[in-house]
A and B are shown apart, each in its own frame.
Chain A
Amino acid sequence: MKILHCPLNGPRNISEFVYGGQVKPMPNPESATDTEWAAYVFYENNSIGVVQEWWLHAPSSYWFIVERHNGSDTILRTYDPSELLSNPGMVSLEDAIQ
């Protein structure tokens, strides 16, 4: 069993987690074009390398960020999403983690 380190709960079996997709800035829903919104919803980068991903620890309903090398499947770091709030492009995340 793989072990993933949850920033809130500590090391847990990977079976307790759910993958939530790539971290990417959300365009403004009020002003984004259909093309921009479709790209946000449906397109993934899929390049090999270190990626930022949303993961959910299901028993505690806690969302956090994983930095993972998708070539070697090595987990480099896990952290609370509040760290991303300093990035102006991710400001809208604040509502998501309330």
Chain B
Amino acid sequence: MTVMLTSPIHSLPSTPIHGGLSLEDASLAARRGVRGRHAADHLRDQGLTVPPVPNQIVASGDDQWVMALSRREFWIINPQQLATAAMPDSTAIASEVWPLYCQHSHSWLILQGAQRADVAAKLCAVDLRSEAFPLGAVAQTQAARVSVIIAHHTNSQQQPVFSLFVDQAVSEYLWLTLQDAMGEFI
């Protein structure tokens, strides 16, 4: 049986791109997670680059990014690769390494544009300006009162973007709220 993946916000209107400010739904892009005492070593053994401290994101290879959420929790995200409908592992991947679900639990929104920090400032208490939140930084916080993970990295065109990961149950709300916040700038 073929299973088609569908983003929970696929039916919502997209934001017109103006002045370089845009909001993209990347929920169908591939991502996976691991956690556990040996999770970092497990990723290094796979040839991946792992951030040295939590709340950072680093490029690993051509298209992948590795994000450290704690000393023992990592997400591997790939904006260029489409996710599969395969169920993630539910048992230990290796000794002291367990799957950490993020593909089917979180939506992935990408906010791009020079004024991305100004848009985020309307919703989030953390200072996301580049001086305080440089490329490679990750914030686990709240935006518009819902929990989000915000990662500051570059896209395939080497443009800086915010990747926002939010629980799928509230992704429609955050999508519309971000669009509303962007309205001041576009």
Contacts and interface: CB of A to CB of B under 8 A. Distances in A.
A13 B141 CA distance: 9
Interface in A38-78: 57-60, 62
Given A60-B70, A62-B70, A9 B142 contact: no
Interface in A1-34: 1, 8-9, 12-13, 15-16
Given A8-B70, A59-B148, A60-B70, A13 B139 contact: no
Which of A1, A57, A98 gathers the greatest number of chain B CB atoms within 10 Å?
A98
A78 B153 CA distance: 30
B54 interface: yes
Contacts of B27: none
Contacts of A16: 141-142, 147
Interface in B125-139: 125-126, 139
B163 interface: no
Size range of the interface on A? Answer: 10 to 19
A-side interface mostly: mixed
B147 A59 contact: yes
| Interface magnitude class on chain B | 10 to 19
Given A15-B142, A59-B140, A60-B69, A9 B147 contact: no
A81 B134 CA distance: 29
Contacts of A62: 70, 140
Nearest to A13: B125
A59 B142 contact: yes
B55 interface: yes
A12 B148 CA distance: 13
Contacts of B36: 98
B142 A13 contact: yes
Contact of A9 (B37, B139, B145): B139
Contact of B141 (A1, A9, A98): A9
Interface in B21-39: 36-37
A13 B145 CA distance: 11
A54 to B, nearest CB: 17
B76 to A, nearest CB: 18
B102 to A, nearest CB: 13
Nearest to A12: B141
B95 to A, nearest CB: 13
Nearest to A80: B71
Interface string B138-161: 011110010111000000000000
Of B54, B140, B145, most buried by chain A (CB within 10 Å of CB) is: B140
Interface of A: 1, 8-9, 12-13, 15-16, 57-60, 62, 98
